[in-house]
Amino acid sequence: MSKKTLLSSKEIHIILHRLACQLIENHHNFENTVLIGIQPRGVFLAERLVTILQNEYAIPNVKLGLLDITFYRDDFRRREAPLEANKTHIDFIVENKNVVFIDDVLFSGRSIRAALTAIQSFGRPSDIELLVLIDRRFSRHLPIQPDYTGRQVDVINEEKVAVHWKEKDKIDAVYIINN
């Protein structure tokens, strides 16, 4: 197994600030916008972005929700090992709000399709956008594209993109792993 560094901690830091600025350009004060981190690993990215927006760009009251899509996935019953659900925590209504889904890696698009179905339980958003740290752009099974992208990467299907977050993995880094 070989591992190649795609993004270092410093590069991730720069990308997070760029993504935060792009969100500000499009959503100004976030009065009618909510951010939804997709469980499990999109949550780390979403929490980081909220911290940057609030602490470094003085945007108060950015609403952040966490969405578990486990039981909405189309491969839910097709896996050998049972899936473990995460927690959904959305303590606001998304009705007529601009929703920004946040995930670490966009691969086939199936997770986002599941998130689109799951969010309906919380109301009907007026608009839904997608922000991802890594876009594996030639791996899509569904016609889903991100509105905000940290980095595009072209990898073959046998390769895996692994995002490591300091909060969970003790380091910020993105690797391409070839088995």
Per-residue pLDDT of 27-70, as tens digits, reads 999 999 999 999 989 999 999 999 999 999 999 999 999 999 98
CB contact at 8 A, 148 and 23: yes
Residue matched to tokens 């500000």 = 24
Q: For the residues 82-106, what does the mean pLDDT come to? A: 90
- Residue linked to tokens 């179905």: 117
**Largest Cα–Cα separation, the chain:** 47
Strands (E), the chain: 2-7, 33-38, 63-67, 98-106, 127-135, 148-152, 159-164, 173-178
Number of domains into which the chain is organized: 1
pLDDT exceeds cutoff 90 at 96: yes
Q: Which residues have CB under 8 Å from 13's CB, separation 6+?
A: 172
Residue 67 forms beta bridges with which residues?
38
Is 160 contained in some domain?
Answer: no
Q: Is residue 144 part of a domain?
A: yes
- Encoded tokens for 61: 């009251």
Q: Provide, rounded to the nearest whole percent, the portion of the chain with pLDDT above 70.
A: 94
Average confidence score pLDDT of the chain: 92
pLDDT of residue 91: 94
- Does the predicted TM-score (pTM) go above 0.75? yes
Confidence of residue 76 (pLDDT cuts 50, 70, 90): low
**Span 107-118, average pLDDT:** 93
Bigger pLDDT: 109 or 1? 109
Confirm whether 81 is domain-assigned.
no
- Within-domain flag for 38: yes
Count of all residues that appear for the chain in the document: 179
At 129, the pLDDT band (50, 70, 90 cuts) reads: very high
* Residue 126 placed within a domain: yes
Q: Judge whether 130 lies within some domain.
A: yes
> What pLDDT sits at residue 75?
60
Let me know if residue 161 belongs to a domain: no
Q: Quick check: is 54 in a domain?
A: yes
Residue 125 pLDDT exceeds 70: yes
Does residue 78 carry a pLDDT above 70?
no
- Tell me the CATH number at 111: 3.40.50.2020
Q: State the residue range of the domain holding 106.
A: 2-74+86-155+166-178
In this predicted structure, the answer to whether residue 79 has a pLDDT above a threshold of 60 is no
